[in-house]
Amino acid sequence: MKAGRHPSVKQLKSEIDMPSNTKAFTLPQTAKFNVITVIAAVTAALAATSSASLGWPVWAMFMGWVAFFTRGHSAKEAIYSYLCLASGIVMGVGAVLAVGALLPLIGPFAFGAVVFVVAMIVVSLRVAAPLNNIPAYFLGLITFFAAHMEPSILAVSELLSVSGVGSFAAWLAHRLQGKVS
């Protein structure tokens, strides 16, 4: 190709040696693939049903499920991830109380001040191994804020319980899937 000329599509295609007819992507249809998929789906369905039956927010159960997958998948790592999530929920309570106390004094600047302090604490925890799972802390904060609950022992207990169900369910699904693999 000469400098300064734009190549045609035909020239580019031949230069990268792209086959003219590519096969469509197909999902594996093996029994193992299907069993692993069913294990995850059944476990999630049971955890969701259990949470809903207890009057707990199902979406908060899935926050625990997601927190499980932010780190290693051993029982020990699952516990550490859950503890980070739980700490985030508790920090959320503290943040709401701090905003409430500062709002009359500094107005909407209270949100920025509190978020700054909480973010400094959470991000600083990156050196606090094994409890250095920053995404799980933020999932906990999000869980409390998204729940729109008044700060109370009951609210914290509910969110800790339902997210614990999710973390346990994710760990259990992963264990069962490992037996298939």
The pLDDT of residue 18 is 46
Residue 156 in tokens: 């914290």
93 pLDDT above the threshold of 60 = yes
- Per-residue pLDDT, 92: 98
pLDDT of residue 16: 46
Q: What is the mean pLDDT of residues 73-97?
A: 97
Tokens 């039956």 — which residue? 53
CB 140 within 8 A of CB 86: yes
pLDDT confidence bin for 12, thresholds 50/70/90: very low
pLDDT at 8 over 70: no
Structure confidence at residue 31 (pLDDT): 86
CB–CB of 32/180 below 8 Å?
yes
Radius of gyration for the chain, computed over Cα atoms and rounded to the nearest angstrom: 24
Of residues 22 and 68, more confidently modeled: 68
